[in-house]
Structure 1
Amino acid sequence: LALVDKNIMGYIASLHELATTERRFYSKLSDIKSQILRPLLSLENLGTTTTVQLLQEVASRFSKLCYLIGQHGASLSSFLHGVKEARSLVILKHSSLFLDSYTEYCTSITNFLVMGGFQLLAKPAIDFLNKNQELLQDLSEVNDENTQLMEILNTLFFLPIRRLHNYAKVLLKLATCFEVASPEYQKLQDSSSCYECLALHLGRKRKEAEYTLGFWKTFPGKMTDSLRKPERRLLCESSNRALSLQHAGRFSVNWFILFNDALVHAQFSTHHVFPLATLWAEPLSEEAGGVNGLKITTPEEQFTLISSTPQEKTKWLRAISQAVDQALRGMSDLPPYGSGSSVQRQEPPISRSAKYTFYKDPRLKDATYDGRWLSGKPHGRGVLKWPDGKMYSGMFRNGLEDGYGEYRIPNKAMNKEDHYVGHWKEGKMCGQGVYSYASGEVFEGCFQDNMRHGHGLLRSGKLTSSSPSMFIGQWVMDKKAGYGVFDDITRGEKYMGMWQDDVCQGNGVVVTQFGLYYEGNFHLNKMMGNGVLLSEDDTIYEGEFSDDWTLSGKDNSGLIEQVGKCSLLPYFLKVCKALVLFLL
């Protein structure tokens, strides 16, 4: 051991002090558990379901802490009969287990306090508490006989937290028994700081809970029911008129309440909650007309708060910034274990990751976005889900789908979904992409403003289905337009030519698997105008085609000289009808 000779006895004495006080502490916790907690849990009509659940959680965390202390006391007895190396102390070696257990217990008891748990226990537990008042005072170490029973019970449940100060004190005593330059001294010193730091931190958490409870007692009843949550803590509020809404009506009432997870704007009997994870606050300069002004930006609203003085402006800006930063970190303001220094406060990032459900925007109403944000708007990679099952996953820019992304749209009638994978611009499909329809069709090509536009390939069905076909060519505003090729694979027929408004229009060629060939003009999917028709037996007809199936021209045998005077006319009519059926 790196002990100074004269401090060996001090080291042993400090170890015995720790072991003795730990056994006493365990005995007290066991008494509280068996004589107070268990009887309380067995009472009927303890209050709301939430209250009962919170009390059960307190009891569970208390039991866990009690077990840990009991095990620690037993380990200290063994330790005193062994080598007694400081680094082997359980409280040192497994400090994170102790720190976490005390933190979890404090969280459960402060949540119970915030929800008015002690007040709700008053009525169902009054008889039990009156009968055991002397026991309560003895266990809680409250000597004032005028102290109310609920206050005694409150003190009793917070009693375990005080043990952290004792750990810090004993560890510091042990540290002084070693040379300052020794690793044992440094380890004991650091651990002592950790326990003391946590004790102070949990003390602040208790005060925050008591401050929040006092606020709920004065807050309007209906809003309390909707806003009150076990983990929610009050940071500051504007009832002293230190903060007001810019351009508010003369007789309007605007009350701003900053919690650890949200900024609430209350007006008479209504209120709105702005989650801190998606809230941005920045000071307004005097040049911008913002004397003592704070600009608040949220995904769907933007407003300016005016403080009464520059000092109030600084106070609110700091409070909001710190609360937002802490909400984004998802942790308390407790320094990391092993560090005695306080957390360095910083401005919350303009770009961040957060989850938000829209309530106002018509296009996004009730949709939930989870991803990257920039100054109040989705920006970067994220996932957007609608209640009806629609989902977009990909890149965003300035609040809109922009870049590469994947979009799914359920089709309830077919029990399938449409699926698009490709590029977006300003919230719409734009650029190269692949759209798979619930019907089985697949389009690969260019999009613009959510429509097929440009060159693309549309496949309908599969080779094993009844009507597989393929179109490759130009599209304008979601319709075939310009040059394109339509191939009916099942029937073995192909059209190559011009299109307009989704129909064959202009010059084109039709070829069938039976050897029929037509080249000429088309109008509204029909052969109309000049054209050449070639049959499988090399018979050629060249002339005018009309809408009423009449032909005007001659064939290669010279037999057709005028309409209606040719034995081949029925044959050509049959051919024409077959081609038109293909086009339709």
Structure 2
Amino acid sequence: MLGSIQNLGRSIIFVVACIGWIGNPIDSLSSLAQEPKGEGKRPPYCEGSPPTGKVKCNYEGGDNYEGDFVNGQPQGRGIYVYANGDRYDGMFRNGVPDGRGLFIFKDDARYDGVFQNGTMKQGTVIFPNGDRYIGNFQVVRNVETNVISSQPGGQGEFIYANGDRYVGQFFAGSPFGAGVLTRTDGTRCTGQFLNQALDAKASCTFPSGARYEGELRGGVPHGFGTIIDTKGRRFPGVFRQGKLVE
């Protein structure tokens, strides 16, 4: 269950310079490491009506573009197909995705949403295994690698293929802040989530009517907490993987 949300913050990399996608792709969304088609590169071969009009262009490295050109760069509606099998279909402005668009990765992961100046701003990511993220994105600079990426930030929702879901705050690609974890069996945990692993301090209600207040690890009771049964009796103690051990 937790694998995709752990991959989420590491894998959504979406930064654009000129026409090229720059990034450090890892895991399931793994195909955006491209050099910019800008200064120092040979100009593309284009048919149609450059520098302004409808064109088809072939870029150094094998990428292709079809769509609107203004002053020698994509602007308006267009499709950019990468030599590695990725493609972007949507709106461009000043040579980069800007507006509504769809990016389809070669492994069939896809992002459908709104771009601003080449980065994801708001939309839906669908992973090949059926997991989904819906929400906002923020531009983040990795303090170790200095790579700039667009990752989940602000309010969002991660829906697992099995039907479980987390709704709440994200920061730099990870759950971080107030949120709610709801499982398909009816378990609901509300609290302060801390990381990709869904560690938290939370209050949970179970289908039986019992409640739990305390620490979570991996989205289950783990650490110090208290079980309150349906009669209101309280059982404080230390939990490990959902079980009271002392």
- TM-score normalised over the length of structure 1: 0.31
Write the deviation string for residues 302-323 of structure 1: whole angstroms up to 9, x where unpaired: xxxxxxxxxxxxxxxxxxxxxx
Distance 2:241 2:110 in 1: 38
Matched with 2:123 is 456
Quick check: 1:520–1:527 contact (8 Å CA) kept in 2?
no
Matched with 2:114 is 446
Distance 2:96 2:241 in 1: 51
Matched with 1:474 is 136
Write the deviation string for residues 216-237 of structure 1: whole angstroms up to 9, x where unpaired: xxxxxxxxxxxxxxxxxxxxxx
- Please tell me the root mean square deviation across aligned C-alpha atoms, in Å: 2.5
Matched, 1:370 2:47: yes
Change in 2 beyond 3 A, CA 1:488/1:523: same
Matched with 2:28 is none
Of 83, 86, 100, the match for 1:432: 100
Distance 1:406 1:440 in 2: 17
Task: Quote the offset at 1:554 in angstroms.
Answer: 4.7
Distance 1:573 1:402 in 2: 58
Give the number of the structure whose residues are more often strand, by fraction: 2
Structure 2 residues not aligned, in runs of 5+? 1-37, 140-149
Q: Which amino acid aligns with 1:383?
A: K
Distance 1:459 1:506 in 2: 23
Change in 2 beyond 3 A, CA 1:492/1:364: same
What secondary structure sits across from 1:421 in the alignment? strand
Change in 2 beyond 3 A, CA 1:476/1:571: closer
Task: Quote the offset at 1:481 in angstroms.
Answer: 0.8
Greater relative CO, 1 or 2 (CA 8 Å, sep 6+): 2
What secondary structure sits across from 1:515 in the alignment? coil
Task: Quote the offset at 1:419 in angstroms.
Answer: 1.2
**Percent of aligned positions that are identical:** 21
Any residues of structure 2 matched to 1:134-533 within 5 Å, and which?
A: 362=39, 364-365=41-42, 367-373=44-50, 378-411=51-84, 417-453=85-121, 455-461=122-128, 467-477=129-139, 478-489=150-161, 491-525=162-196, 526-529=198-201, 531-533=202-204
Change in 2 beyond 3 A, CA 1:389/1:460: same
What secondary structure sits across from 1:520 in the alignment? strand
Change in 2 beyond 3 A, CA 1:382/1:364: farther
Q: Greater CA radius of gyration, 1 or 2?
A: 1
507-516 vs 418-427, which moves further: 507-516
Of 226, 235, 238, the match for 1:560: 235
Task: Quote the offset at 1:459 in angstroms.
Answer: 1.1
Distance 2:136 2:180 in 1: 16
Write the deviation string for residues 253-282 of structure 1: whole angstroms up to 9, x where unpaired: xxxxxxxxxxxxxxxxxxxxxxxxxxxxxx
Distance 2:119 2:187 in 1: 35
Write the deviation string for residues 452-488 of structure 1: whole angstroms up to 9, x where unpaired: 12x2011112xxxxx2111111112321111111111
Task: Quote the offset at 1:499 in angstroms.
Answer: 0.9
Quick check: 2:222–2:240 contact (8 Å CA) kept in 1?
no
Write the deviation string for residues 122-181 of structure 1: whole angstroms up to 9, x where unpaired: xxxxxxxxxxxxxxxxxxxxxxxxxxxxxxxxxxxxxxxxxxxxxxxxxxxxxxxxxxxx
Distance 2:40 2:178 in 1: 43
Q: Which amino acid aligns with 2:49?
A: R
Distance 2:82 2:40 in 1: 15
Matched with 2:32 is none
Change in 2 beyond 3 A, CA 1:370/1:571: closer
Distance 1:543 1:549 in 2: 8
Aligned residues: 193
Distance 2:57 2:215 in 1: 57
